[in-house]
C-alpha cells in the first residue's frame, strides 16, 4: 500500500512541475490527456489486482484524491469545458459556391400556345375565355349542329350524367357566348382545353388544346380570312411556307375550307412527317353560317364574318418535329433537352 502512496506522491510532484511549465491552451490540453486519460486510468487498472478488500478500498481513496487534485487544476484552466465545446466557427461565404442545377421553364406546349396567342394579338385580335363545362345548346345548337349530327353521338362527346351539360368539344362555345353579350364588330380568339372521346394513340388524346378565331363586321369576305391565315402561318413557320385552301364542310360555316400547309421538312416532296403527301392539314375555316348569326341575334343581312379553328397540339407536333402527340403529357424531360 505504501508503494502506491509513494507512487502517487511522485506523480503529483511530476504533475506540478509539468503544470507550471505549460502556459498555453494546447500544452495544457496535452497534459490533461497524459494524466487524466492516461496515468489515471493505469492507476485504476492496478486496483483490480489487489485481493485484500481493505487494501483495495484504501487504494481507491488515494487514487480518487489524486483524481480530484488533477480535476481542480484543470478546471481552473478550463481544459475540460474546452474539450466539450464545439470547434470555433468557420466563416462561410455562400456566394463562393455555385450549385449546378437545371432551371425550370414553361412546358413546350404552353410556350407554343403563347406564341400563337401573341401572333393573333399583334394582328388586333382580343383574347376571350369561357367554361370547359358547357350547356349542350351552346356547344351544338347555336353552332348549327342539329340533333342528328354524328358529332353529338355519345362516342364523340363526354356528357355529364343527369344534366344538360357536357365537356366542350371545341372552343366555339366561347364565340357563341361572346356574340350573345357583344354587338359587332368582333375580332376575337379563344384558346383552351377541349374534350372528345378518342383512344390514346400517336395522333389522338381525349383532351387537347385548341385555338379558334372569329371576325364579324360589315363587308367581311373570304379574302379577309385567307389574308389572316396566310399571315399567321407565315409568322409562325416562315415565309417559305405555302398554304392551300380546299373545299370542305363544317355545319357552322358556309362556304367552308380545310387549310393545308406545305410540309416544313420535305417542302412538298413527301416524307415521314407528312405521310408522303407533301402537305399537312392544319385547320378548318369558313364564312360564318347565317343560321349561327340568327341564333345569337345578329342580322345576317347586315353582317358577315369568318371563323377558323386549329389544334394547338397537332400544330406544335409539326413545329417541334414530333412523331407522337403523347410526348406532351409523358413528362419525359429528355425529349425537350435534345
Residue 223 lies in a domain: yes
Residue 155 and residue 20 share a domain: no
Residue 94 lies in a domain: no
When computed from its CA atoms, the radius of gyration of the chain, rounded to whole angstroms, is 43
Q: Which residues pair with 192 in a beta bridge?
A: 210
Residue 138 lies in a domain: yes
Query: 84, 119, 147 — which closes off a domain?
Result: 84
Residue 302 and residue 269 share a domain: yes
- What beta strand segments (E) does 165-278 contain? 165-167, 186-195, 207-217, 243-250, 253-262
Q: How confident is the model at residue 295 (pLDDT cuts 50, 70, 90)?
A: very high
Residue 103 lies in a domain: no
100-134: pLDDT as tens digits: 767 777 888 999 999 999 999 999 999 999 999 99
55-105: pLDDT as tens digits: 777 777 777 787 777 777 777 665 544 444 555 667 777 776 666 767 777
Q: How confident is the model at residue 254 (pLDDT cuts 50, 70, 90)?
A: very high
The residue ranking higher by pLDDT, 94 or 270, is: 270
Tell which phi-psi region holds residue 194, choosing left (phi > 0), alpha (psi between -120 and 50) or beta.
beta
Residue 198 and residue 304 share a domain: yes
Neighbours of 279 (CB within 10 A): 18
Contacts of 169 by beta carbon, 8 Å cutoff, 6+ apart: 139, 151, 156, 157, 194, 195, 196
235-249: pLDDT as tens digits: 999 999 999 999 999
Query: 38, 69, 84 — which closes off a domain?
Result: 84
The model's pTM is 0.67
Residue 191 and residue 75 share a domain: no
Q: Is the pLDDT reported for residue 32 higher than 70?
A: yes
Residue 96 lies in a domain: no
Q: Which residues pair with 210 in a beta bridge?
A: 192, 311
Angle at 208 between CA 207 and CA 214, to 5 degrees: 125
Residue 39's pLDDT is what? Answer: 78
CATH number at residue 185: 3.30.930.10
Residue 186 and residue 309 share a domain: yes
- Whose cell is 341575334? That residue is 297
- Whose cell is 461565404? That residue is 93
Residue 142 and residue 265 share a domain: yes
Choose the weakest-confidence range: 170-184, 193-207, 279-293, 294-308: 193-207
User: What is the total residue count of the chain?
Assistant: 338
Residue 231 and residue 153 share a domain: yes
Q: How confident is the model at residue 147 (pLDDT cuts 50, 70, 90)?
A: confident
Residue 90 lies in a domain: no
CA atoms within 13 A on the CB side of 203: 4
Residue 17's pLDDT is what? Answer: 78
- C-alpha span between 194 and 178 (Å, rounded): 18
- Tell me the DSSP string of 55-123: HHHHHHHHHHHHHHHHHHHHHHTTHHHHHHSPPPP----GGG-----PPP---HHHHHHHHHHHHHHHT
Residue 98 lies in a domain: no
Query: In the numeric block, which cell numbers belong to residue 285?
Result: 375555316
- C-alpha span between 261 and 274 (Å, rounded): 10
Residue 260's pLDDT is what? Answer: 94
Residue 82's pLDDT is what? Answer: 45
16-26: pLDDT as tens digits: 777 777 767 77
Query: 69, 84, 99 — which closes off a domain?
Result: 84
Residue 79's pLDDT is what? Answer: 53
Residue 320 and residue 230 share a domain: yes
Residue 23's pLDDT is what? Answer: 66
Residue 20 lies in a domain: yes
Residue 184 and residue 63 share a domain: no
Pairing assessment for the beta strands 243-250 and 207-217 based on DSSP bridges: unpaired
Q: How many domains does the chain have?
A: 2
Residue 300 and residue 197 share a domain: yes
Residue 204 and residue 58 share a domain: no
Residue 68 and residue 216 share a domain: no
Closest CA to 187 of 212, 216, 210: 216
Owning domain of residue 309: 108-337
Residue 81's pLDDT is what? Answer: 45
Q: Is the pLDDT reported for residue 167 higher than 50?
A: yes
Burial class (CB in 10 A: 0-12, 13-18, 19+), 235: middle
Q: Which residues pair with 311 in a beta bridge?
A: 210
Amino acid at each position: 500500500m505504501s508503494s502506491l502512496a509513494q507512487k502517487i506522491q511522485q506523480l503529483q510532484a511530476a504533475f506540478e512541475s509539468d503544470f507550471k511549465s505549460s502556459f498555453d491552451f494546447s500544452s495544457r490540453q496535452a497534459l490533461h490527456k497524459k494524466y487524466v486519460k492516461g496515468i489515471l486510468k493505469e492507476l485504476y487498472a492496478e486496483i483490480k489486482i489487489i485481493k485484500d478488500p481493505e487494501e483495495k478500498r484504501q487504494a481507491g481513496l488515494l487514487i480518487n484524491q489524486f483524481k480530484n487534485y488533477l480535476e481542480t487544476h484543470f478546471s481552473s484552466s478550463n481544459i475540460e469545458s474546452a474539450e466539450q465545446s464545439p470547434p470555433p466557427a468557420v466563416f462561410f461565404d455562400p456566394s463562393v459556391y455555385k450549385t449546378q442545377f437545371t432551371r425550370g421553364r414553361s412546358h413546350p406546349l404552353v410556350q407554343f400556345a403563347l406564341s400563337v396567342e401573341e401572333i393573333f394579338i399583334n394582328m388586333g385580335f382580343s383574347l376571350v375565355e369561357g367554361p370547359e363545362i358547357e350547356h349542350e345548346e351552346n356547344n351544338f345548337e347555336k353552332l348549327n349542329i342539329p340533333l342528328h349530327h354524328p358529332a353529338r353521338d355519345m362516342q364523340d362527346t363526354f356528357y355529364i350524367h343527369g344534366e344538360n351539360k357536357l365537356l366542350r368539344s371545341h372552343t366555339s362555345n366561347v364565340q357563341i357566348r361572346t356574340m350573345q353579350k357583344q354587338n359587332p364588330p368582333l375580332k376575337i380568339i379563344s384558346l383552351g382545353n377541349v374534350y372528345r372521346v378518342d383512344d390514346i394513340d400517336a395522333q389522338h388524346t381525349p383532351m387537347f388544346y385548341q385555338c379558334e378565331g372569329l371576325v364579324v363586321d360589315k363587308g367581311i369576305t373570304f379574302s379577309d380570312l385567307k389574308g389572316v391565315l396566310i399571315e399567321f402561318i407565315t409568322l409562325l413557320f416562315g415565309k417559305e411556307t405555302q398554304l392551300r385552301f380546299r373545299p370542305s364542310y363544317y355545319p357552322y360555316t358556309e362556304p367552308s375550307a380545310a387549310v393545308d400547309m406545305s410540309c416544313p421538312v420535305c417542302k412538298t416532296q413527301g416524307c415521314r412527317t407528312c405521310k408522303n403527301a407533301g402537305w399537312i392539314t392544319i385547320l378548318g375555316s369558313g364564312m360564318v353560317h347565317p343560321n349561327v348569326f340568327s341564333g345569337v341575334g345578329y342580322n345576317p343581312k347586315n353582317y358577315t364574318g369568318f371563323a377558323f379553328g386549329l389544334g394547338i397540339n397537332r400544330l406544335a407536333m409539326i413545329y417541334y418535329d414530333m412523331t407522337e402527340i403523347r410526348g406532351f403529357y409523358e413528362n419525359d424531360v429528355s425529349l425537350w433537352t435534345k
